[in-house]
Structure 1
Amino acid sequence: MRVASQQAMDIVKSTSPALEKHGVAITTRMYERLFRDPAIAALFDQAAQESGEQPRRLAAAILAYAKNIERLDVLGPAVARMVARHVETGVRAEHYPHVANALLPAIRDVLGADVATDEVLAAWGEAYWMLADLLIAAEAQAYEDREAA
């Protein structure tokens, strides 16, 4: 599993106020980018997208992650719910690069290049892949357990 550097974690934590203020705009923009791929869009509950529920939930999850990046054990129940939902909807490891390629530019789209500098986006890239690796491993185990049952 990849681990984000201390510098990256510090930068991610420092972006919490911007995420608190603009998180829903970032996740809404991320989904716009992500759903350019119809196969990925099909994995999502479109009613939750249209109501704004899913962008709000993801924004809250990203904010919680940013605030607790050094204490991931605090996020255990939320991660377990995410893993269960991902397995239920068929999310696989190969989907994670698409999300990264939508999320990181969405951060810059919303916050602007003066706030979402290359350094900030690199830190978020490290943080994203640290969490993605954790989710991918847990989801792989959940898929394996489901098939064995």
Structure 2
Amino acid sequence: MRTASEAAKAIVKATAPAIEKHGVEITTAMYARLFTDPAVKAMFDQAAQTSGEQPRRLANAILAYAKNIDKLENLGPAVGRMVARHVETGVKAEHYPLVAAALLPAIRDVLGADVATDEVLAAWGEAYWMLADILIAAEAQAYEDQQAA
């Protein structure tokens, strides 16, 4: 499982105020990029997209992650809910690179290259993959448990 470096964690925590202020804009831009793939778009509740509920929910999750990246145990219940929802909607390990490819450019699009520098995006990339690995492992276990039941 990948981990984020201490430097990356510090950068992610330092960007939390920008995420708090612009999170919904970032997640809305991310979903616009992600939904160019019709198969991925079909996995999502479009009513929750239209209402803004899903972009808000994801923005809040990203903010909580940024604030707690050095205390992941604080996120246990939220991670459990994400895993359950991902299993319910059929999210698989192969979807995570698609999200990364949509999220990281969306951060730069919204915050601008002067704030979302290459260093900042690299830190968020490390942080993203650290969380993705946690989710992928938990989801694999949940799918296994589901099959065994």
For 2:23 and 2:85, locate their aligned partners in 1 and report how far apart those are by CA, in whole Å.
21
SS of residue matched to 2:115: coil
- How far 1:29 moved relative to its partner? 0.1
SS of residue matched to 1:3: coil
Partner of 2:51: 51
For 1:135 and 1:125, locate their aligned partners in 2 and report how far apart those are by CA, in whole Å.
15
CA RMSD across the alignment: 0.3
Query: After TM superposition, where is structure 1 displaced by more than 4 Å over at least 4 residues in a row?
Result: none
- Can you list the C-alpha shifts for 1:37-75, whole angstroms capped at 9, x where unaligned? 000011111000000000000000000000000111100
For 2:85 and 2:43, locate their aligned partners in 1 and report how far apart those are by CA, in whole Å.
11
For 1:100 and 1:8, locate their aligned partners in 2 and report how far apart those are by CA, in whole Å.
16
User: Aligned residues, how many?
Assistant: 149
Instruction: Indicate yes or no: 2:19 matched with 1:19.
Output: yes
Identical aligned pairs, as a percentage?
A: 81
- How far 1:35 moved relative to its partner? 0.2
- Normalised to the residue count of structure 1, the TM-score between the two structures is 1.00
Partner of 1:126: 126
- Normalised to the residue count of structure 2, the TM-score between the two structures is 1.00
Structure 2 unaligned residues grouped into runs of 5+: none
For 1:73 and 1:100, locate their aligned partners in 2 and report how far apart those are by CA, in whole Å.
23
SS of residue matched to 1:2: coil
